[in-house]
Chain A
């Protein structure tokens, strides 16, 4: 048994997911976690599946998707991993402002220096407006108010608004 990461990227059209997962099903692969979105109009998907075939065999079977050059399909073997234990509380970092290079690097660099782990992230460019949303696990040793102040200072240098809030657990 191997764990495969299947990445599909490229021109969006109806049917990409059905075809990709159809081929994987024929190979006897069982899908585990996956994510798919549209990035600037491009289809972008990563599927983690567990299968009896090699990455090369899977990539070959998926050739029908990449044959016309509209999609790039990449299959790699990845090791089984235990998810990182949650560090402490989950926070939502929200950044918005005028677009410029380096916003994500600077802000997430500060989070990483504090030992925070980003568990989910999305960014959007909408006209002049750049928006970053990141869910972050912070170790109990980090003072969120202090990190918040540091982030606000960095945000003010970058000309963007930064906020850090506890994420509602939404537990029933």
Chain B
């Protein structure tokens, strides 16, 4: 089942930075068949691709409080299981296990990175915008981490809410 529906041409949107309140508020469920949701998904993927090193983007990061995100960890050195480019609406974590600590950054918090514990075995349920197909995807490692990071955005959480200790926040060294 395809996780990437036929998308209209996406436009690069302006991303918002913390402490914008849209980033700390839970986002609303969407109608996955709404054409505006499909075009939002296309815009997220286009915006994500325009930012160096960005592997995922959630709608609140472009100022839209809706439960939609894009993701593509293709080619990332720490990726094992890879579903390629995907967009998902109304996602939820079905199961999560084997927690490991790793370093994360975020387009919305450009100058900091943090050590965050995430599940490395993950099953996520969601709906593909445009087709309305319900999907369940199982993944691991880096893709699992990226998915949890994006779903957190939809719940109004940043990696800053999950860092592993008082000294687990670092100035960003590079953007990749």
Q: Which of A19-27, A45-53, A90-98 contacts B (4 or more CB under 8 A)?
A: A90-98
Which residue of chain B is the closest to A160 with respect to CB atoms? B19
- Give how many B residues have a beta carbon under 8 Å from the other chain's beta carbons: 20
Q: Looking at B160, B164, B168, which has the most chain A CB atoms within 10 Å of its CB?
A: B160
B112 within 8 A of A: yes
Query: Do B17 and A129 touch across chains, with their CB atoms under 8 A apart?
Result: yes
Partner of A127 from B17, B24, B158, B169 at Cβ < 8 Å:
B17
Main SS class of interface, B: mixed
Which residues 46-102 of B have a CB within 8 angstroms of A? none
Number of contact residues on A: which range applies? 20 to 34
With contact pairs A98-B19, A161-B24 given, residues A127 and B111 touching in the complex (Cβ less than 8 Å): yes
A17 within 8 A of B: no
Residues of B within 8 A of A130 (CB): 19
Alpha-carbon gap, A94 to B163, bound state (A):
8
Residues of B within 8 A of A96 (CB): 18-19, 158, 160-161
A112 within 8 A of B: no
Residues of A within 8 A of B163 (CB): 92, 94, 133
B176 within 8 A of A: no
Q: Which of A55-63, A80-88, A116-124 contacts B (4 or more CB under 8 A)?
A: A116-124
A134 within 8 A of B: yes
A79 CB → nearest B CB, Å: 25
Beyond A96-B161, A97-B19, A122-B169, 13 extra complex contacts between A and B, CB < 8 Å = A94-B161, A121-B166, A124-B169, A126-B109, A126-B110, A128-B19, A129-B109, A131-B160, A134-B166, A135-B165, A160-B19, A161-B24, A167-B164
Q: Which residues does B use to contact A, with CB under 8 Å?
A: 17-19, 24, 109-112, 117, 158, 160-161, 163-169, 171
